[in-house]
Amino acid sequence: MIEFKNVYKKYENNENTAISDLNLQINDGDFFVLVGPSGSGKTTTLKMINRLIKQTSGEILIDGQNIENLNLQEMRLKMGYVLQNIALFPNMTIEENITIQPESLKWSREKRHKSAMDLLDKVGIPQEYAKRFPRELSGGEQQRVGIIRALASNPKIVLMDEPFSALDPISRNQLQELVLKLHQEMKTTFIFVTHDMNEALRLGNTIAIMRMGHLEQIGTRDEIIHNPKNSFVNGFFRNQHNDDKKIKLIIDSQNCQEVDYQEPDLNEEDNISDLAQILRNKKSALVESSNGKVWKLTIQSLLNYLARDGEKDE
């Protein structure tokens, strides 16, 4: 079981608290989804579990043990991790990528090889791909490998940070099914971050909805659908059903400028309404696009875009 007790996180050079007073429990074997708009603190929450981000105060416990007292390397070797940008190591073959944790755990060569082959079978990738390099695979195939890489060491906990947001809808659909299947087979704790409410509802046994560093509601799928705790949950749920326009459109219309990489406020897949929300309080918002670039968007960018969009509509 993973427990968050009064966890706060405040980033330097940012006045707002990223996470404030977070308390939650994640039971063993659960499929736990953290969902919320960008800047809600869901990724921060996820990364605090494997100590990629350290909380400012409060405690995080795994099976009753404070994670700060665990050996960092040992702890991480027992956790799987799937990244949004897939991040397969381009210098290693598929098999080497999959078995990177087992190798560090000093598994024998045969055991490693067998486990890699089993996993490839499980996700429907031909075994002969094992000797190929990541660049030779399609995006969907790469993320399948990314997922089994996280499962290779039979971890008790697997962390997934928006793993499907960069994929096309068809691959996303297939992979959602795949992780559900894998979860059923493996009985591992999956902790899954997404900004897509549909995805959350589809995958999660337990869903935690976050906004601006606060936990808005936590509950089973049914509880969330039938008893939304407040207007935000309700609105977030509804908003996602509307085919709202994405910020990507503003970036594509070149009404903004690129800046050096820094912690973004939003993702380009977020809705323009999210952007408007942020621009109400701040002069500018930082938006990350799928290629990893960060763009600075101002009210002017938004207005320019809307004005031009209006022209087109007429």
Instruction: Check residue 193 and report its DSSP letter.
Output: E
> Measured from the CB of residue 65, what is the shortest distance to another protein in angstroms?
17
CB within 8 Å of 137: residues ≥ 6 apart: 94, 129, 145
β pairing state of 214-220 and 206-211: antiparallel
DSSP collapsed to 3 states, 75-121: HHHCEEEECCCCCCCCCCCHHHHHCHHHHHCCCCHHHHHHHHHHHHH
State the binding string over 201-240 for another protein (x if CB under 8 A, else -).
----------------------------------------
* Of the candidate residues 159, 166, 224, 279, the single one contacting another protein (CB under 8 A): 159
* Of the candidate residues 12, 15, 63, 73, the single one contacting another protein (CB under 8 A): 73
What residue type is assigned to position 22 of the chain? Answer: L
Q: Which is nearer to another protein, 55 or 271 (CB)?
A: 55
Q: Which is nearer to another protein, 9 or 211 (CB)?
A: 9
116 forms part of the interface with another protein (CB under 8 A) = no
State the binding string over 75-94 for another protein (x if CB under 8 A, else -).
xxxxx-x-x-x-x-xxxx--
CB within 8 Å of 226: residues ≥ 6 apart: none
> Measured from the CB of residue 188, what is the shortest distance to another protein in angstroms?
16
Rounded Cα–Cα distance for residues 210 and 24 (Å): 12
197 forms part of the interface with another protein (CB under 8 A) = no
* Number of residues that make up the chain: 314
186: helix, coil or strand? helix
Rounded Cα–Cα distance for residues 38 and 106 (Å): 39
70 forms part of the interface with another protein (CB under 8 A) = no
Please choose, out of 4-12, 99-107, 172-180, 236-244, the segment that lies near another protein by the rule CB under 8 A.
99-107
How many residues make contact with another protein (CB under 8 A)?
24
> Measured from the CB of residue 230, what is the shortest distance to another protein in angstroms?
34
* Of the candidate residues 43, 55, 101, 217, the single one contacting another protein (CB under 8 A): 101
- Residue numbers 23-62 binding another protein by CB under 8 A: 50, 52
CB within 8 Å of 24: residues ≥ 6 apart: 3, 4, 208, 215, 218
Contacts 24+ apart (CB under 8 A), 284-288: 286/259, 286/262, 287/247, 287/251, 287/256, 288/264
> Measured from the CB of residue 96, what is the shortest distance to another protein in angstroms?
8
Q: Which is nearer to another protein, 21 or 263 (CB)?
A: 263
- Rounded to 10 degrees, what is the CA torsion of 292, 232, 281, 58? -70
Q: Which is nearer to another protein, 42 or 211 (CB)?
A: 42
Q: Which is nearer to another protein, 61 or 77 (CB)?
A: 77
Which spans of this chain sit near another protein (rule: CB under 8 A)? 50, 52, 72-79, 81, 83, 85, 87, 89-92, 100-101, 104, 159, 261, 292
